[in-house]
Amino acid sequence: MVSGKGRRLLVTGGAGFIGANFVHHVLRTRPNDHVVVFDKLTYAGNLANLADVSDDPRYAFVHADICDAGAVERVLSAHGIDTVVNFAAETHVDRSIDDPEAFIRTDVNGTYTLLEAARAKGLRYHQVSTDEVYGHVAEGASRETDPVAPRSPYAASKASGDLLVHAYHVTYGLHTTISRGSNNVGPYQYPEKAVPLFSTNALEGLPLPVYGDGRQERDYQWVGDHCEAIDLIVDRGPAGEAYNVGTGTSIQNLTMVDIVLETLDRPRSLVRHVTDRPGHDRRYAIDTAKLQALGWRSRHTPEQAVAMAAAWYRDNEAWWRPIKSGEFRAYYDRMYGGRAVLPAGG
């Protein structure tokens, strides 16, 4: 795609964490692009995430569900969309264990609806996926050509969406690309996820519920780096390709916890090891050589990303404090209220 011409992007799930950061990135770096955010505004969708761009004439918002084919067709036609970037998804593993049906509806059926709409109009389509589709990686690092082996309802729903996307390219010739990102951290992340949960709990002097022994390994990447990668793939990625996105290194969750506490100057006595979740993947690791060959490099290490994220929550209490009540409080009590506290050290 010729960048100078400007793109007309439909960003589904654009009021969520990564989606909102992507919208900010595009409007900041692509002066000729127009962005329409299409979001159902579930518990994790928040228009406050887009308040800074709400007056930009290149931005528009549509409140709708990606499973609503009529709404999707109407917005594509009304705004002359040429590219769909799909962030819309149920994303939290714990919630997928508690209610898998919602994940199948959004991550599989919703993806199908968007693909059908893109096929009908001959649009470009990009699917934002996750490294969790590869499942637990005991050794080495997953490559894009490796088979998917999801181990949670969330990962299975995302893997199913990926397979549909690839099939629409092969069968119908649709111009599709896929990005599989490692664990993102940064502004606007709903505090059910580990880094914002631990950061905000630490700031409130509340316990940090660490699953099991806390030695699970994750590649924590700064969300801004991920957004740059997605933008590059959407702009230059050949049709039918998938790309891993991450720093290429990982740290243990206990290391992440220590960075959060050090950044916020809070004591390690806040850590509580609790019973692990079912089927918890021990290690994720991805090979990012393919994306690097396209011209992308991560700007931050996992350690830097975690510290920057913790500092953001320290400096933006007005954003997260209203969230940690209502739906979140009920979820938190349900997820952690009955978990046994393990002896120190897990």
- Structural contact between residues 83 and 126, judged by C-beta atoms closer than 8 angstroms: yes
34 SS3 class: strand
Q: How far apart (Å, rounded) are the C-alpha atoms in residues 296 and 289? A: 9
Q: Which of 59, 154, 220, 332 is catalytic?
A: 154
Q: How far apart (Å, rounded) are the C-alpha atoms in residues 306 and 302? A: 6
Q: Can you say whether the dihedral through the CA atoms of 50, 51, 52, 56 is positive or negative? A: positive
Q: What are the residues whose beta carbons fall under 8 Å from the beta carbon of 143, sequence distance 6 or more? A: 244, 286, 287, 290
Half-sphere exposure of 257 (CA within 13 A, CB side): 21
The Cα-based distances of 198 to 14, 39, 107, 190 in angstroms read 24, 27, 27, 12
Q: Give the residues across from 274 on adjacent strands.
A: 211, 341
Told to judge if 132 belongs to the known catalytic residues of this protein, a careful annotator would answer yes
**Residue from 118, 133, 47, 135 nearest 82 by CA:** 118
Amino acid at 117: A
Q: Which of 132, 162, 192, 219 is catalytic?
A: 132
By residue count, the chain amounts to 346
Q: Which of 39, 82, 131, 228 is catalytic?
A: 131
The widest CA-to-CA distance across the chain, in whole angstroms, is: 60
In the 8-state DSSP scheme, what is residue 108?
I
- Structural contact between residues 127 and 82, judged by C-beta atoms closer than 8 angstroms: no
Residues forming the active site: 131-132, 154
